[in-house]
């Protein structure tokens, strides 16, 4: 299923601009609403609902883990933005400040509300999570994935991590690596949401 949430480009500039900076939360609220609707209409249930996203979609899925953990049976986060306090200092991050805001200014007050790394809390039952990145990602620094995974581990969360040493922002440098990455993803899904379906 494809959820066309505010912040995307599917419906023109106004649709995209509706979820910029201090309004970024709208994208996450929209996505969570789609997940809730799928369950309410009986299409699936929480235990069989997974979400997967990479790059900006990794920021989305990171926010699903931290803000809506009760909605998903499994979450896949790929080559993600997760530490929004430091994103603008790492690799291409500076070029995205028009989208997210400048965390080194008063913008941090709203940026922190969608910074998954900063939203992790003790005592929360997070869904099984698989974080994937690439050592050679030249757009989103792998430190985002490493730091978030370490924080989840410190909370005792059910988290898995895989870092390909090649591959750039796509996470895989060739078809063989892409096949391995996808096999890992689908095995994770089978072991979390697929066993009793």
Query: What rounded mean pLDDT belongs to the chain?
Result: 93
Let me know: does 14 contact 21? Beta carbons within 8 Å. Answer: no
For 153-178, what is each residue's pLDDT tens digit?
A: 999 999 999 998 887 788 777 888 88
HEC-encoded secondary structure of the chain: CCCCCCCCCCCCHHHHHCCCHHHCHHHHHHHHHHHHHHHHCCCCCHHHCEEEEECHHHHHHHHHHHHCHHHCCEEEEECCCCCCCCHHHCHHHHHHHHHHCCCCCCCHHHHHHHCHHHHCCCCCCCCCEEEEEECCCCCCCCHHHHHHHHHHHHCCCCEEEEEECCCHHHCCCCHHHHHHHHHHHHHHHHHHHHCCC
More confident residue, 96 or 75: 75
Give the pLDDT of residue 169: 80
For 12-64, what is each residue's pLDDT tens digit?
A: 999 999 999 999 999 999 999 999 999 999 999 999 999 999 999 999 999 99
Give the pLDDT of residue 91: 87
State if pTM tops 0.85: yes
Fold (topology level) of 13-194: Rossmann fold (3.40.50)
For 117-139, what is each residue's pLDDT tens digit?
A: 999 999 999 999 999 999 988 88
Q: How confident is the model at residue 147 (pLDDT cuts 50, 70, 90)?
A: very high
* Active site (catalytic) residues: 55, 169
């Amino acid at each position: 299923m494809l959820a066309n949430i505010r912040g995307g480009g599917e419906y023109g500039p106004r649709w995209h601009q509706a979820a910029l900076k201090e309004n970024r939360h709208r994208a996450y609220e929209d996505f969570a609403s789609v997940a809730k609707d799928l369950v309410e209409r009986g299409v699936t249930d929480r235990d069989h609902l997974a979400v997967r996203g990479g790059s900006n979609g990794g920021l989305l899925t990171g926010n699903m883990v931290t803000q809506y953990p009760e909605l998903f049976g499994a979450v896949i986060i790929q080559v993600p933005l997760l530490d929004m306090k430091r994103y603008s200092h790492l690799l291409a991050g500076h070029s995205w400040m028009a989208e997210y805001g400048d965390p080194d200014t008063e913008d941090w007050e709203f940026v922190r509300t969608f910074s998954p790394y900063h939203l992790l809390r003790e005592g929360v039952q997070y869904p099984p999570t698989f974080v994937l990145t690439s050592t050679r990602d030249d757009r989103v620094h792998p430190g985002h994935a490493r730091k978030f995974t370490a924080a989840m581990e410190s909370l005792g969360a059910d988290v898995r991590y895989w870092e390909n040493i090649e591959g750039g922002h796509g996470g895989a440098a060739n078809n063989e690596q892409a096949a391995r990455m996808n096999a890992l993803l689908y095995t994770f899904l089978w072991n979390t949401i697929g066993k009793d379906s």
